[in-house]
């Protein structure tokens, strides 16, 4: 049967609309950094094989959730407020916050599998039950977090990407900050710790543009750590090498 050209075009448009409605287009996202470092210890492989799946926040990856259905955080944490740590490194701070705040659910996102394995070992040792772990890109997690669902977020000693031509790879760019702002509740707190002066500069420029206000009123507000702070191995390395930590606190505007 010969289908008239106008009808062919109409059918093509209808099919394209239906496809875009049913399944969002997977964005092209460049990832800069390492997924894996040194060979994992046998115990770390065991943690990954036995524990990681049970700590999943839900279907985050595009292969398992192409429709980008929002995560059910009420089901995940039983209605508790939810915090988020982006790039948790070895997991020291994440474990500390989970132990100190048992009435809070905390999601940690980290693409570096060695760091994930270290965290899983710490979770076993500490016995905390209010954590979920996404072993991948935080941008994929932002896709499926419900809007205004996160009460607090942490970005602690992120990769500094020191070369000028690599500054666009830093987390504090619109590509990351705008979706983060979308999932944070109005009035929620966003903490950033870094020992790199130029990262401080870029953070103070970009974060307010994404809908945040910096809460510092005096030098001690960024020179002194937060009251509930635990110094991480990354911070200890910075101190040994003579660099000065900065502690920046932002509030998501209403």
**CB neighbourhood size of 59 (10 A):** 15
Q: Quick one: CA dihedral 189, 119, 122, 248, positive or negative?
A: negative
Find, among 31, 83, 93, the residue nearest to 234 by Cα. 93
Q: Is 159 one of the annotated active-site residues of the chain?
A: yes
- Please report, for residues 12, 14, 16, 24, 67, the alpha-carbon distance to residue 19 in angstroms, rounded to integers and kept in the order given: 11, 9, 5, 8, 11
Q: 188: which 2 tokens?
A: 């929620």
**CB neighbourhood size of 53 (10 A):** 9
Annotated catalytic residue within 61, 159, 198, 221: 159
- Please report, for residues 8, 114, 144, 224, 234, the alpha-carbon distance to residue 179 in angstroms, rounded to integers and kept in the order given: 38, 26, 10, 29, 26
- Please report, for residues 32, 169, 174, 193, 217, the alpha-carbon distance to residue 235 in angstroms, rounded to integers and kept in the order given: 22, 21, 26, 9, 24
- Please report, for residues 3, 16, 19, 82, 160, the alpha-carbon distance to residue 11 in angstroms, rounded to integers and kept in the order given: 10, 9, 12, 45, 50
Burial class (CB in 10 A: 0-12, 13-18, 19+), 201: exposed
Q: 228: which 2 tokens?
A: 């509930």
Q: Which residues are catalytic?
A: 159
């Amino acid at each position: 049967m010969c289908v008239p050209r106008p009808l062919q075009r109409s059918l093509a448009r209808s099919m394209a609309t239906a496809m875009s409605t049913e399944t969002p287009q997977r964005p092209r996202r460049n990832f800069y950094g390492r997924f894996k470092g040194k060979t994992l210890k046998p115990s770390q492989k065991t943690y990954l094989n036995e524990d990681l799946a049970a700590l999943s926040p839900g279907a985050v990856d595009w292969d398992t959730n192409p429709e980008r259905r929002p995560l059910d955080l009420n089901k995940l944490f039983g209605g508790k407020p939810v915090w988020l740590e982006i790039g948790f490194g070895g997991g020291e701070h994440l474990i500390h916050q989970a132990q100190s705040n048992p009435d809070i659910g905390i999601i940690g996102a980290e693409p570096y599998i060695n760091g994930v394995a270290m965290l899983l070992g710490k979770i076993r040792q500490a016995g905390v039950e209010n954590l979920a772990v996404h072993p991948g890109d935080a941008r994929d997690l932002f896709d499926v977090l419900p809007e205004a669902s996160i009460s607090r977020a942490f970005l602690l000693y992120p990769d500094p990407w020191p070369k000028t031509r690599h500054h666009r790879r830093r987390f504090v760019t619109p590509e990351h900050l705008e979706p983060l702002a979308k999932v944070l509740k109005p009035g929620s707190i966003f903490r950033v710790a870094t020992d790199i002066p130029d990262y401080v500069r870029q953070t103070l420029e970009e974060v307010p543009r994404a809908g945040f206000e910096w809460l510092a009123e005096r030098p001690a507000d960024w020179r002194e750590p937060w009251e509930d702070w635990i110094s991480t191995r990354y911070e200890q390395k910075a101190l040994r090498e003579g660099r000065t930590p900065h502690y920046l606190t932002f509030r998501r505007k209403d």
